[in-house]
């Protein structure tokens, strides 16, 4: 038996030319019979083209090129919504034979109760037609309010259609076009202008779509010269079903319809139907199972049970439900293409899910021409979720993930991820990734002149000597995302030794090989920095303590292993020279202290281990971070644990051997379940935080743990509470969302655990600090800034702070 | 400053003079003192170093002068004493007495850490046999400051120094406030002070119970004298022999003198503590912290709620 299908075509196969009325009786007997052998089958090739290469199954929008993914979701959604469904009821069995008899030589498919066709939603076409025909129209030239058969209309006139009504013969009711689920199959629109041929074409389409057993179109003249169109129909129905099955028919070879010889004997026909049926069975068996979950299956079954008879509307509903699930899950290319096995106990829903047949990675030059890329392909491939590889069903979320992952490589200025139909493999999808690479090398020079208050307070240039930054970057070396980055900053280029800040970084990802899923990155860097030591800070009521600057310069090499986007393990070696200086940049081996008499004595706590003001040391450094925090409507929720260790190796001044460790544990506890989604309110969050720091062995003052400050105990200055060998900080914060932001209250405590005296020279005591302290306060988040009022519990006074960033 | 103190020490150690001042004492006192010195020699003690400490203006220097019998340390009633410790050494019949007078430890309501520091440096490589903690009898109250002073002394020389400690109460010749007998006043005052010392020295109840002797002293020239011209306390005891007697008792109470060495001054080097344990700490950190966090990360990865599309592969869901 022939299979007919009409994909992408307004016109059906030649068969459709047989009159509608002729088809009606053929359907009738088939449906009244209880034969289990009806097949409803999709075929994407029309009989007329069966001798040629089978045409690919086309998505309605497949004529348009797919857009880049970031803008693709709409077109994809559209394509899915507008997807064509092709029904093909290939007749079967005995009754089919009868039908065939009745049908005479009208064509094999027809004879078997037939084939039918398609639900098609042709907005696009309609629009096109409208635009081309919206000029002028002819009056019908007939008396008003008479019913005119389609074939009575004049072939030379352009009729304006004022309204379109559906008349359901079974229900004996009229509905407006927009209210019935069938409206999507009608391409003519109220207000449009159509010729008789167009209206006939429309009827043709409706008749062959398979939704109707019988369909007629008639006009009713209006006084103003327009006509109203009534489409009267009898909906197709089939025997009730109690089973539902969904199969993925994408990429399956199309069953080649065998032309049925009209001169076949009954026996031959039966033989033929049987083989058809067998073929279909085999097809179902061969088809891959669908992704559709059991829950949707059950839902559909429920629908089938409630309905009794399977009707065309019913099938539409099932199709909508199934496609909705696919769409909701992001399977944007999935389409229900056919319902098979109708008139048996089982409804078989055939879906083309959108299997990926190929993944193409392309590089483009600045003009968008395809070119050879510098980046090695495995670097990109390893960023792609496996769901985007060949053999998986295309999912738009996987595409977005790929886009994000590739973007995080920071190698490309433009990234497109496009799915497009595979023309060689029906129902297949080719995923195309188009990339524009960034310039590999870049260099930059920025200069600045410092302005300082001069004589009479007038602003003057500090000097004519310029300061600024010189930086260069060499990215993506060897196409493996290795990079070298260097920068030099000085406030005076003519005298750079004063305050030169330099940095040189080398990053080497994929240490274990680009094909190895283990993600380890090697980093080496030279650095220097200058910081004010919070160890040499006075307690409350202590006048200005002469500051100590800690300069560090050295090299560092480490390996970072990323477990997840946030959790990672870093280990490496650091070699550095630490120099402590006083305000006037002189090397200072001890801190200064203010004597009660007001004088300054230089015999404060020692600043370095060596006692000379310059320490050199090498040590191993490790850091493991576990972070599973995520955002729930903008509020951070989850757990974060960080353990950091500096292990002295006995290499350096005074052979420093130490174990300096810190563990910080933070919990963001969501206090209320909330619905997630854009614009929804974030939940209130309770933050619990603990931080322990300790050191065994040699501890120079610059490595002592300090208490107090915005990231330690809020409400105090940096180091105002003390500098100790072991510290414990505890904090809790309650965040309550208000409008677009949140307010919070917090309580914090920091304690030196009595270990201040174990820092050489006891800087905590020398600078009259408490060694412990608590604070509490409230605050509000204003964009990036936190405004908070914190009360220092040691003195009982409160003050207002503005801070950038988060405390935790 | 430290430098200057050092020179002072070397100078002072060269200047051991004959203890001539002893002859200034009344003969009864002399006899008693020589007798006590003889007893000390019997105990094989030929050198005695006495450290005198206390708040400012309580009569430390006067006590030193009274004890030596000479005006060796300048005393000024209104001015704070010199900011440096002074050691006075006298020898008599093969016996050497070193008395170290120190500046007051309190300045501006706080213990002057720097003064403590200087005293410590001054005492480097000396052995303290006896500590005289000096305060006034005629002060009525003890406060937190007293405790801090005691604590500063304890922190500097260790708890052990109180085994060799004597509480000296000056200005012993007073008329107690109304309604209190002299003895009652004395016992209350000494009780309160001893309590503070014990607290400041972090002494537990049981250790050295009652072993902190309290001695009364009256340095004033108007001090009452007995028939043998000895300075006596209101209760009739001659105080100088009494003080020396108490010192002798403390010296021979079985405890050891405190050798002030570098370690004592700087305290145990906290950088050396526990160094030997570092390999074990490291192993512990690796196996019980790093490994545990790694496990938790693995757990997180397993538990991570993945979107539907990441879970579904073609084989997972099947239809009937």
**With a cut of 0.85, is the ipTM above it?**
no
Interface of A with B in 302-331 (CB under 8 A): 329-331
Is A643's Cβ below 8 Å from some Cβ in B?
Answer: yes
Which residue ranges of B make up the annotated binding site for Mg(2+)? Answer: 61, 79
B290/A760 touch (CB, cutoff 8 Å), yes or no: no
In Å, the largest CA–CA distance within chain A is 126
Name residues whose C-beta falls within 8 Å of residue B227's C-beta, 6 or more positions apart in sequence: none
Is B312's Cβ below 8 Å from some Cβ in A?
Answer: yes
A659/B312 touch (CB, cutoff 8 Å), yes or no: no
pLDDT at res. A463: 55
Does residue B317 contact residue A395 with C-beta atoms inside 8 Å?
no
A567/B318 touch (CB, cutoff 8 Å), yes or no: no
How many Å apart are CA A257 and CA A275, to the nearest integer? 11
Mean pLDDT across A87-106: 31
Under DSSP, the state recorded for A680 is: P
Is A284's Cβ below 8 Å from some Cβ in B?
Answer: no
How many Å apart are CA B162 and CA A26, to the nearest integer? 121
Name residues whose C-beta falls within 8 Å of residue A337's C-beta, 6 or more positions apart in sequence: A42, A57, A83, A84, A85, A86, A249, A350, A351, A352, A427
> Does the pLDDT value for residue A173 go beyond 90?
no
Compute chain B's Rg from CA coordinates: 30
Residues of A in contact with B301 (CB under 8 A): 563-564
Interface of A with B in 233-272 (CB under 8 A): 245-247
pLDDT at res. A253: 67
Mean pLDDT across A767-785: 92
Residue A220 pLDDT class (50, 70, 90 cuts): confident
Mean pLDDT across A409-427: 88
Does residue A116 contact residue A208 with C-beta atoms inside 8 Å?
yes
State the nearest Cα–Cα gap between A698 and chain B, in angstroms.
Answer: 4
A245/B293 touch (CB, cutoff 8 Å), yes or no: no
Is pLDDT larger for residue A153 or for residue A458? A153
Residue A723 pLDDT class (50, 70, 90 cuts): very high
Residue A210 pLDDT class (50, 70, 90 cuts): confident
Does residue A221 contact residue A142 with C-beta atoms inside 8 Å?
yes
Candidates B271, B294, B307; nearest CB to A760: B271
Does residue A779 contact residue A787 with C-beta atoms inside 8 Å?
yes
Interface of B with A in 95-114 (CB under 8 A): 107-108, 110, 112-114
Is pLDDT larger for residue A53 or for residue A246? A246
How many Å apart are CA A6 and CA A15, to the nearest integer? 11
pLDDT at res. A535: 92
Residues of B in contact with A696 (CB under 8 A): 273-275, 277-278, 281
Neighbours of A783 (CB within 10 A): 8
Name residues whose C-beta falls within 8 Å of residue A279's C-beta, 6 or more positions apart in sequence: A255
Residues of A in contact with B312 (CB under 8 A): 291, 393
How many Å apart are CA A792 and CA B186, to the nearest integer? 45
3-class secondary structure, B294: helix
pLDDT, averaged across chain A: 78
pLDDT at res. A458: 67
Is pLDDT larger for residue A287 or for residue B301? B301
Whole-number Cα distances in Å, B16 to A34, B12, B95, B99, B128: 134, 8, 11, 11, 17
> Does the pLDDT value for residue A734 go beyond 90?
yes
> Does the pLDDT value for residue A118 go beyond 60?
no
Residue of B nearest to A659 (CA): B278
Under DSSP, the state recorded for A650 is: E
Which residue in this structure is represented by tokens 């309501």? B109
Name residues whose C-beta falls within 8 Å of residue A741's C-beta, 6 or more positions apart in sequence: A780, A781, A782, A783
How many Å apart are CA A107 and CA A187, to the nearest integer? 27
Under DSSP, the state recorded for A628 is: -
Which residues face A86 on adjacent strands? Answer: A118
Whole-number Cα distances in Å, A693 to A149, A426, A661, A771: 92, 63, 6, 14
pLDDT at res. A704: 95
User: pLDDT tens digit string along A590-606?
Assistant: 988 777 666 777 778 89
Is B282's Cβ below 8 Å from some Cβ in A?
Answer: yes
Candidates B108, B274, B300; nearest CB to A596: B108
Mutate to test the interface with A, among B3, B108, B314 (most CBs of A within 10 A): B314
φ, ψ (nearest 5 deg) of residue B294: -60, -40
Compute chain A's Rg from CA coordinates: 39
User: The tokens of B100 are what?
Assistant: 């170290």
> What's the pTM value of the predicted model, to 2 decimals?
0.68
Mutate to test the interface with B, among A758, A768, A769 (most CBs of B within 10 A): A758
Under DSSP, the state recorded for B177 is: P
Which contiguous run of DSSP H or E holds residue A124? Answer: helix A123-133
Residue A222 pLDDT class (50, 70, 90 cuts): confident
> Does the pLDDT value for residue B78 go beyond 80?
no
How many Å apart are CA B32 and CA A366, to the nearest integer? 110
Residue A771 pLDDT class (50, 70, 90 cuts): very high
State the nearest Cα–Cα gap between A312 and chain B, in angstroms.
Answer: 23
Residue A584 pLDDT class (50, 70, 90 cuts): confident
Mutate to test the interface with B, among A696, A701, A725, A762 (most CBs of B within 10 A): A696
Residue B196 pLDDT class (50, 70, 90 cuts): confident
How many Å apart are CA B165 and CA B211, to the nearest integer? 9
Neighbours of A298 (CB within 10 A): 11
A292/B318 touch (CB, cutoff 8 Å), yes or no: no
A291/B285 touch (CB, cutoff 8 Å), yes or no: no
Mutate to test the interface with B, among A387, A388, A405, A608 (most CBs of B within 10 A): A387
Residue B30 pLDDT class (50, 70, 90 cuts): confident
CA A260 to chain centre: 50
Residue A211 pLDDT class (50, 70, 90 cuts): confident
Does residue A438 contact residue A430 with C-beta atoms inside 8 Å?
no
Mutate to test the interface with A, among B297, B298, B304 (most CBs of A within 10 A): B297
Q: B50: closest CA among B119, B154, B130?
A: B130
State the nearest Cα–Cα gap between A272 and chain B, in angstroms.
Answer: 29
Percent with pLDDT over 70 in chain A: 78
Residue B208 pLDDT class (50, 70, 90 cuts): low
Neighbours of B110 (CB within 10 A): 13
Question: For A592-633, where are the alpha helices, taking DSSP H only?
Answer: none
Instruction: Specify the range with the lowest mean pLDDT, choosing from A491-500, A683-692, A758-767.
Output: A491-500
Does residue A641 contact residue A625 with C-beta atoms inside 8 Å?
yes
Residue A22 pLDDT class (50, 70, 90 cuts): very low
pLDDT at res. A329: 85
Is pLDDT larger for residue A375 or for residue A497? A375
pLDDT at res. A252: 75
Interface of A with B in 87-126 (CB under 8 A): none
Helices and strands (H and E) in chain A: how many: 12, 43
Residues of A in contact with B278 (CB under 8 A): 647, 657-659, 696-697
Interface of A with B in 157-196 (CB under 8 A): none
φ, ψ (nearest 5 deg) of residue A62: -65, -15
Is A393's Cβ below 8 Å from some Cβ in B?
Answer: yes
Mean pLDDT across B268-295: 92
How many Å apart are CA B123 and CA B6, to the nearest integer? 10
Which residue ranges of B make up the annotated binding site for GTP? Answer: 57-62, 76-81, 171, 218-219
User: The tokens of A397 are what?
Assistant: 């979320």
Candidates B1, B297, B309; nearest CB to A387: B309
> Does the pLDDT value for residue A273 go beyond 90?
no
User: The tokens of B251 are what?
Assistant: 């010296």
State the nearest Cα–Cα gap between A752 and chain B, in angstroms.
Answer: 15
How many Å apart are CA A210 and CA A711, to the nearest integer? 71
3-class secondary structure, A440: coil
B312/A291 touch (CB, cutoff 8 Å), yes or no: yes
Residue A525 pLDDT class (50, 70, 90 cuts): very high
Residue A549 pLDDT class (50, 70, 90 cuts): very high
How many Å apart are CA A370 and CA A381, to the nearest integer? 18
How many Å apart are CA A88 and CA A3, to the nearest integer? 7
pLDDT, averaged across chain B: 81
> Does the pLDDT value for residue A117 go beyond 60?
no
> Does the pLDDT value for residue A311 go beyond 70?
yes
pLDDT at res. A256: 56
User: pLDDT tens digit string along B100-159?
Assistant: 988 888 877 778 777 888 888 888 888 889 999 999 888 878 888 888 888 888 888 888
SS3 sequence of A235-262: ECEECCCCEEEEEECCCCCCCCCCCCCC
pLDDT at res. A587: 92
Q: What angle do CA B217, B223, B227 make, to 5 degrees?
A: 110
E strands present in A675-726: 685-697, 705-707, 722-724
Is A621's Cβ below 8 Å from some Cβ in B?
Answer: no
User: pLDDT tens digit string along A640-655?
Assistant: 999 999 999 999 989 9
How many Å apart are CA A98 and CA A111, to the nearest integer? 8
> Does the pLDDT value for residue A195 go beyond 50?
yes
Is pLDDT larger for residue A62 or for residue B245? B245
User: The tokens of A109 are what?
Assistant: 């498919």
Candidates A391, A397, A628; nearest CB to B300: A628
Q: A409: closest CA among A444, A443, A373, A356?
A: A373
Neighbours of A445 (CB within 10 A): 10
Angle between helices A20-32 and A93-103 (to 10 degrees): 160
CA B266 to chain centre: 15
């Amino acid at each position: 038996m022939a299979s007919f299908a009409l994909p992408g075509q307004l016109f059906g196969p030649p068969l459709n030319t047989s009159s509608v009325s002729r088809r009606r009786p053929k359907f009738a007997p088939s449906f009244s019979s209880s034969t289990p052998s009806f097949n409803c089958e999709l075929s994407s090739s029309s009989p007329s083209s069966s001798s040629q290469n089978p045409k690919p199954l086309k998505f309605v929008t497949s004529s348009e090129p797919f857009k880049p993914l970031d803008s693709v979701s709409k077109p994809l959604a559209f394509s899915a919504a507008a997807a064509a469904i092709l029904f093909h009821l290939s007749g079967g069995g005995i009754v089919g034979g009868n039908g065939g008899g009745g049908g005479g030589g009208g064509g094999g498919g027809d004879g078997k109760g037939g084939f039918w066709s398609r639900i098609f939603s042709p907005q696009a076409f309609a629009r096109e037609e409208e635009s081309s025909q919206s000029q002028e129209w002819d009056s019908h030239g007939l008396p008003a309010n008479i019913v005119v058969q389609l074939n009575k209309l004049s072939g030379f006139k352009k009729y304006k259609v004022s309204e379109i009504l559906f008349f359901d013969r079974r229900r004996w009711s009229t509905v407006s076009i927009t209210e019935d689920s069938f409206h999507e199959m009608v391409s003519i629109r109220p207000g449009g202008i159509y010729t008789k041929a167009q209206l006939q074409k429309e009827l043709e389409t409706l008749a062959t779509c398979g939704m109707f057993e019988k369909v007629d179109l008639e006009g009713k003249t209006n006084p103003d010269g327009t006509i109203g169109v009534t489409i009267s129909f009898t909906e197709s129905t089939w025997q009730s079903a109690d089973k539902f099955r969904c199969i993925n028919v994408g990429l399956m070879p199309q069953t080649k319809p065998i032309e049925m010889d009209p001169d076949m004997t009954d026996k031959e026909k039966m033989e033929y139907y049987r083989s058809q049926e067998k073929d279909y069975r085999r097809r179902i068996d061969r088809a891959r199972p669908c992704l559709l979950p059991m829950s949707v299956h059950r839902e559909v079954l429920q629908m089938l049970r409630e309905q009794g008879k399977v009707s065309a509307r019913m099938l539409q509903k099932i199709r909508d439900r199934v496609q909705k699930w696919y769409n909701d899950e992001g399977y944007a290319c999935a389409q229900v293409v056919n319902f098979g096995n109708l008139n048996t106990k089982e409804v078989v829903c055939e879906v083309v899910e959108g299997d990926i047949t190929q993944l193409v990675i392309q590089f483009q030059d600045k003009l968008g021409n395809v070119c050879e890329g510098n980046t090695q392909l495995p670097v990109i491939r390893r960023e792609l979720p496996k769901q985007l590889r060949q053999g998986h069903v295309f999912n738009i979320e996987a595409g977005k993930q790929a886009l994000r992952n590739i973007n995080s490589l920071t190698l490309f200025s433009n990234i497109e991820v496009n799915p497009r139909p595979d023309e060689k493999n029906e129902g297949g999808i080719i995923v195309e990734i188009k990339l524009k690479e960034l310039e590999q090398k870049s260099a930059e020079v920025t200069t600045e002149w410092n302005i300082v208050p001069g004589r009479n307070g007038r602003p003057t240039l500090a000097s004519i000597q310029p300061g600024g930054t010189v930086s260069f970057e060499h990215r993506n070396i060897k196409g493996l995302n290795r990079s070298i980055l260097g920068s030099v900053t000085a406030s005076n280029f003519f005298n750079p030794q004063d305050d030169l800040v330099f940095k040189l970084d080398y990053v080497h990802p994929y240490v274990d090989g680009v094909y190895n899923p283990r993600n380890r990155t090697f980093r080496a860097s030279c650095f220097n920095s200058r910081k004010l030591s919070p160890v040499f800070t006075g307690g409350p009521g202590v006048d200005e303590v002469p500051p100590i600057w800690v300069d560090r310069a050295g090299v560092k090499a480490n390996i970072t292993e990323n477990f997840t986007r946030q959790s990672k393990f870093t280990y490496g070696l650091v070699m550095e020279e630490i120099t402590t200086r006083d305000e006037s940049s002189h090397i200072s081996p001890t801190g200064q202290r203010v004597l009660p008499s007001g004088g300054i004595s230089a015999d404060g706590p020692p600043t370095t281990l060596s006692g000379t003001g310059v320490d050199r040391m090498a040590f191993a450094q490790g850091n493991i971070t576990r972070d599973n925090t995520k955002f729930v409507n903008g509020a951070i929720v989850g757990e974060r644990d960080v353990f950091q260790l500096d292990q002295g190796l006995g290499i350096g001044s005074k052979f420093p051997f130490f174990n300096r460790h810190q563990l910080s544990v933070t919990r963001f506890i969501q206090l209320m379940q909330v619905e997630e989604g854009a614009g929804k309110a974030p939940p209130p969050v309770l933050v619990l935080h603990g931080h322990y720091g300790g050191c065994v062995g040699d501890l120079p003052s610059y490595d002592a743990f300090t208490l107090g400050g915005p990231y330690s105990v809020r409400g105090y200055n940096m180091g105002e509470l003390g500098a100790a060998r072991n510290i414990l900080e505890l904090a809790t914060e309650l965040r309550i969302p208000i409008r677009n932001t949140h307010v919070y209250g917090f309580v914090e405590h920091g304690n030196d655990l009595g270990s201040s005296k174990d820092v050489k020279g006891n800087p905590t005591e020398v600078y009259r600090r408490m060694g412990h302290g608590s604070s509490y306060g409230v605050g509000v988040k204003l964009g990036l800034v936190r405004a908070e009022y914190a009360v220092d519990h040691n003195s009982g006074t409160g003050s207002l702070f503005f801070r950038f960033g988060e405390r935790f | 400053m430290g430098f200057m103190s050092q020179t002072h020490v070397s100078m002072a150690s060269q200047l051991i003079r004959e203890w001539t001042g002893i002859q200034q004492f009344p003969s009864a006192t002399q006899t008693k003192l020589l007798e006590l010195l003889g007893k000390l020699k019997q105990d094989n003690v030929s050198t005695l170093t006495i450290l005198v400490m206390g708040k400012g203006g309580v009569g430390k220097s006067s006590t030193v002068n009274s004890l030596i019998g000479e005006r060796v340390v300048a005393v000024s009633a209104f001015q704070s004493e010199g900011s440096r410790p002074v050691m006075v050494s006298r020898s008599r019949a093969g016996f050497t007495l070193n008395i170290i007078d120190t500046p007051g430890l309190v300045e501006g309501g706080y213990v002057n850490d720097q003064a403590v520091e200087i005293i410590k440096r001054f005492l480097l490589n000396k052995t303290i046999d006896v500590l005289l903690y000096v305060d006034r009898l005629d002060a009525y109250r003890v406060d937190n400051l007293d405790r801090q002073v005691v604590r500063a002394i304890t922190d500097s020389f260790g708890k052990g120094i109180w085994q060799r400690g004597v509480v000296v109460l000056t200005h012993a010749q007073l008329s107690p406030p109304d309604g209190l007998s002299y003895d009652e006043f004395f016992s209350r005052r000494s009780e309160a002070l001893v309590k503070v010392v014990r607290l400041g020295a972090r002494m537990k109840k049981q250790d050295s119970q009652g072993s902190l002797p309290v001695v009364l002293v009256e340095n004033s020239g108007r001090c009452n004298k007995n028939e043998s011209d000895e300075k006596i306390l209101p209760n009739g005891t001659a105080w100088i022999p009494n003080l020396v007697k108490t010192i002798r008792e403390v010296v021979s109470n079985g405890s050891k003198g405190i050798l002030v060495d570098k370690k004592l001054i700087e305290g145990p080097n906290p950088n050396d503590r526990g160094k030997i344990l570092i390999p074990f700490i490291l192993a512990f950190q690796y196996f019980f912290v790093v490994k545990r966090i790694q496990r938790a990360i693995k757990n997180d990865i397993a538990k991570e709620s993945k979107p539907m599309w990441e879970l579904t592969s073609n084989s997972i869901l099947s239809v009937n």
